[in-house]
Structure 1
Amino acid sequence: MMVTRIAVLGSHNFIERLKHLERELPSIHMDYYIYKSPMEATEIVPTIKPCDAIFFSGSLPYFYSKEAREKLPIPSHYLRQDETAISTTLLSIGFSKSIPISKLSIDLIEPQIVQHVLEDIGRTEEYPFMMKIDPTFDIKEVVNFHENLQRSGESILAVTSIHAVYQKLRENNLSVIRMIDPKGSILKGIEDTKSMALLAKSQSAKIAVGFIQTNEDALISEDLLNKISSSIQASYTKSDKGLYLLYSTQGDVQKAFKNNYLETWLELASSPLKIAFGFGKTVIEATKNAKDALPYTKDNTAYVLTDRKELLGPFPNNQKKVHLKTNEPKIAKLSKVTTLSPANVSKIMQFSRSHTSVEFTAYDLEVYLQVSRRTTERILKKLVDNGYARVTGEEMTYQQGRPRAIYELNFPTYL
């Protein structure tokens, strides 16, 4: 059974609850990252180890980490606070505490949800005190909102969506409960995150066909063709004079453009190149899209026509170059411990970000780094010996010979 790996960011209380639900999610492996305040999500996201997707326990950490999230090559999702959460919380208060709705103070993202729930159950004669929260709020303001209402006697119980607010109100000896996240909503949120991860992988696996065109009297060297094809896991054939055909996948081509491989190809070429890629569910569809994209190209430019007929380009002009900071303290520490150069550490991190699976073989890394097998194995040994990678299994791809070890990195690669 294929397992989807999901990083979960949440409060200690949420994480502990989720751990009790693990047995109901047999096809999902979860790695947990705990924060005391949702604002900490911004710093946590870059420290996440390789995974297939990220799940946030609420909208606040999701929105706070927007900038960091959008740099990731994997999808992310969050637990939405909906009518089910409000209804469950109000029902619990009604049964266990018998407190009138008008004596409650509630902080939440969308106050109108409470109104909808009360309208649905025909209780529109009274409403709780409500405070709308968003990523610009100050936790002290939310604490003061609840505290002032209780001190004045206007409310009896505070209901909060924020763990840090709950802790502070408890410290101030005020009556407070957490908003209840229903079990069904949590499980659905995790399953939806898994679906997003699988969809992202299936999109990456779509067929990509590429055309490389040169002047009629010019040829592309076999060495350059091998470098281009290996960088996108492609096979190639020579078509008409000055025209070469590549067969790859959408994910590999997208990574090549994202990591700026195109500029390297153009620099190594002895004459101007025109490059066009087409994406599709079949080879026929992808080939047609590549042919349709080719007329748009000019010397040393590339275009992509997707299966949705979206023309992307011209590359490399609209492609921002990604730089990994070699002066990042965590990279410097890893480099020192393993004696690997900062450049090699950065390349390994970039490999992890671009690889479609958390697991990989020495051959996968060798092809990406474009180094010898011996060099690759030395790098992996240093990582494994120092706990930055581990062997998770082995695969037997041939009837003879020794099995290939399967590796998994054990350090944050989203810095």
Structure 2
Amino acid sequence: MNTKIAVIGSAEFIDSTKSVADQVADIELDFYMYQQPQEALKLLKQLMPCDAVFLSGALPYYFSKDYHEQLRIPVFYLVQDEMTIASSLLAALYHKKILLERISIDLFDAAIVSNVLTAVDIEATPMHVMDYEHFLRKDLYDFNQLVSFHQSLWEKGEIDLAITSVHAVYNQLHHLGIPVMRMADPKTALIRGLENAKEKAEYKKSKASQAAVGYISIHSVHQRKKLESFAHAIHATVQEINDSLFALYCTRGDIEALNSDVLQQLFTETEETAVGFGYGVSIKDANKNAMIALSFAEKDQEKDCCYILTESKELLGPFPHKKMQQKLVNTHPDLYLIAQKAKLSPANLSKMIEFAKNEQMHHFTSADLADYLQVTRRSAERMIKKLSDHGYIQIIGEEMTYQQGRPRALYKLNIPIYF
């Protein structure tokens, strides 16, 4: 199964990435182009289902950091390193015949330039370098500052060439008639970036499929009914250990997709409920960690709470008193517009988006959707038809059944899922 990577960047970066895509096996790329790096945040909110995000550099990464840190998929950017700077300076020296001290450079970390020159015993004074890392740290980034830096040096006659790491700056300097060159994106760096995104995405998916065991201590029939609803919500099988203790078996991905509101419904004001979940590379390890987590929940002063103990012995909790990052409820206005147009309830649409986030295959059948939503096949097909009629779902193929009967249609959700 291919790893699907969303690539966000300028037109030039996208072209460069396309040129090396066939050198990384088993990946599929979706491209999202911006004019300014600040637009990365908007593009992230338009992502179709994918396994990882690859950004063109530090600027789009930092502009969207608060948002992409909430995503369940890994996000990376192309790092400027010594290879990038060395390639750019070599191109300027060889093709332009320009001295180092007559070049101005903007980049994320000025120390990289010093590292390159020091490594080959070159002293170039003065060296015109603008470091924009401190602007990002203080949220003071201004595109015009970078343009003015190069423009001022050119007008004073101190430089013959500007090298910029920002494509929008390149376009503006070119428009002003200032000799300018884009920072090189070495093919090896692009390939390494895609390979890193693929590796981390595969690791993330393997983590999501990791064994998870839960223990829930309850004391009444009323709580038992809530337990059954909770087990449905996380797609868990339930085993009764004794009258007051139950074990749940599911995956780590099911737990990490859990919203705190769902967990809160398990607790009541009058009856104490303790919950402990454990992750592990095996059911045995997960079971052991779950028992330890349960002991913490039973001893906690909050009484009604849940703890999680990971395979690396990291204790998380108590939940729901500690807010989780994942949410099942989506209040984004665009969600309501789509729901209104398709005549589908926002709650059901939100569940379908959550389903798309959890589906590692990026395509599904009506049976898959029905199983996830805990509804009949007919109900799932009605929901699919409503969205399909407005282009929000499309048929991408057929799946042969193992029994007699017609092939089942394969669908793909055609709306952004990371509002």
TM-score tier after normalising by the smaller chain length: over 0.9
Contact 2:260 2:320 in 1 (8 A): no
Cα deviation digits, residues 203-257 of structure 1 (max 9, x gap): 1111111111123xx346775454333322221211123111111111111212x
Give ranges in structure 1 of 5+ residues lacking alignment. Answer: none
Contact 1:326 1:343 in 2 (8 A): no
Q: Which residue of 1 aligns with 2:41?
A: 42
Q: Which residue of 1 aligns with 2:322?
A: 318
Looking at structure 2, the residues matched to 335 and 196 of structure 1 have their Cα atoms a distance apart, in angstroms, of 34
- Between 302-311 and 127-136, report the one with greater CA deviation: 127-136
Distance change >3 Å, CA 401–CA 271, structure 1 → 2 = farther
Looking at structure 1, the residues matched to 59 and 397 of structure 2 have their Cα atoms a distance apart, in angstroms, of 38
- Residue 414 of structure 1 and its aligned partner are, at CA, apart by 0.9
- Residue 326 of structure 1 and its aligned partner are, at CA, apart by 4.1
- Residue 49 of structure 1 and its aligned partner are, at CA, apart by 1.2
Q: Which residue of 2 aligns with 1:296?
A: 296
- Residue 357 of structure 1 and its aligned partner are, at CA, apart by 4.1
- Between 237-246 and 225-234, report the one with greater CA deviation: 225-234
Q: How many residues align?
A: 409
Give the match's secondary structure for 1:239: strand
What letter is aligned with 1:276?
Answer: G
Looking at structure 1, the residues matched to 46 and 234 of structure 2 have their Cα atoms a distance apart, in angstroms, of 27
Distance change >3 Å, CA 332–CA 190, structure 1 → 2 = same
What letter is aligned with 1:131?
Answer: M
Looking at structure 2, the residues matched to 196 and 18 of structure 1 have their Cα atoms a distance apart, in angstroms, of 18
- Between 356-365 and 39-48, report the one with greater CA deviation: 356-365
Cα deviation digits, residues 134-189 of structure 1 (max 9, x gap): 33321111111101111111000000001111011011111001000100100110
Matches within 5 A, 1:159-170: 159-170=163-174
Give the match's secondary structure for 1:392: strand
What letter is aligned with 1:246?
Answer: L
Distance change >3 Å, CA 278–CA 33, structure 1 → 2 = same
Matches within 5 A, 1:374-389: 374-389=378-393
Q: Which residue of 2 aligns with 1:234?
A: 236
Distance change >3 Å, CA 401–CA 225, structure 1 → 2 = farther
Distance change >3 Å, CA 327–CA 109, structure 1 → 2 = closer
- Residue 349 of structure 1 and its aligned partner are, at CA, apart by 2.1
Distance change >3 Å, CA 77–CA 149, structure 1 → 2 = same
Looking at structure 2, the residues matched to 128 and 411 of structure 1 have their Cα atoms a distance apart, in angstroms, of 48
Looking at structure 1, the residues matched to 399 and 304 of structure 2 have their Cα atoms a distance apart, in angstroms, of 41
Matches within 5 A, 1:83-102: 83-102=82-101
CA RMSD of aligned residues (A): 2.2
Cα deviation digits, residues 335-386 of structure 1 (max 9, x gap): 2332212232222223323444423333332243333321111111222232
What letter is aligned with 1:138?
Answer: D
Q: Does 2:389 match 1:410?
A: no
Contact 1:361 1:407 in 2 (8 A): yes
Contact 1:106 1:159 in 2 (8 A): yes
Q: Which residue of 2 aligns with 1:116?
A: 115
Looking at structure 2, the residues matched to 255 and 129 of structure 1 have their Cα atoms a distance apart, in angstroms, of 49
Contact 1:105 1:146 in 2 (8 A): yes
Contact 1:230 1:367 in 2 (8 A): no
Looking at structure 2, the residues matched to 30 and 304 of structure 1 have their Cα atoms a distance apart, in angstroms, of 35
Contact 1:88 1:180 in 2 (8 A): yes
Match for residue 350 of structure 1 among 343, 354, 358:
354
Contact 2:275 2:305 in 1 (8 A): yes
Distance change >3 Å, CA 198–CA 375, structure 1 → 2 = same
Contact 2:218 2:224 in 1 (8 A): no
Looking at structure 2, the residues matched to 8 and 118 of structure 1 have their Cα atoms a distance apart, in angstroms, of 32
Contact 2:100 2:124 in 1 (8 A): no
Matches within 5 A, 1:16-415: 16-126=15-125, 128-134=127-133, 135=136, 136-215=140-219, 218-219=220-221, 224-256=226-258, 258=259, 260-266=261-267, 271-298=271-298, 299-320=303-324, 322=327, 324=329, 326=331, 328=333, 330-396=334-400, 398-415=402-419
- Between 44-53 and 397-406, report the one with greater CA deviation: 397-406
Looking at structure 2, the residues matched to 398 and 220 of structure 1 have their Cα atoms a distance apart, in angstroms, of 41
- Residue 60 of structure 1 and its aligned partner are, at CA, apart by 0.7
Contact 1:103 1:155 in 2 (8 A): yes
- Between 153-162 and 131-140, report the one with greater CA deviation: 131-140
Percent identity of equivalent pairs? 39
What letter is aligned with 1:240?
Answer: N
Looking at structure 2, the residues matched to 112 and 371 of structure 1 have their Cα atoms a distance apart, in angstroms, of 58
Looking at structure 2, the residues matched to 9 and 121 of structure 1 have their Cα atoms a distance apart, in angstroms, of 34
- Residue 14 of structure 1 and its aligned partner are, at CA, apart by 0.9
Give ranges in structure 2 of 5+ residues lacking alignment. Answer: none
- Between 142-151 and 370-379, report the one with greater CA deviation: 370-379
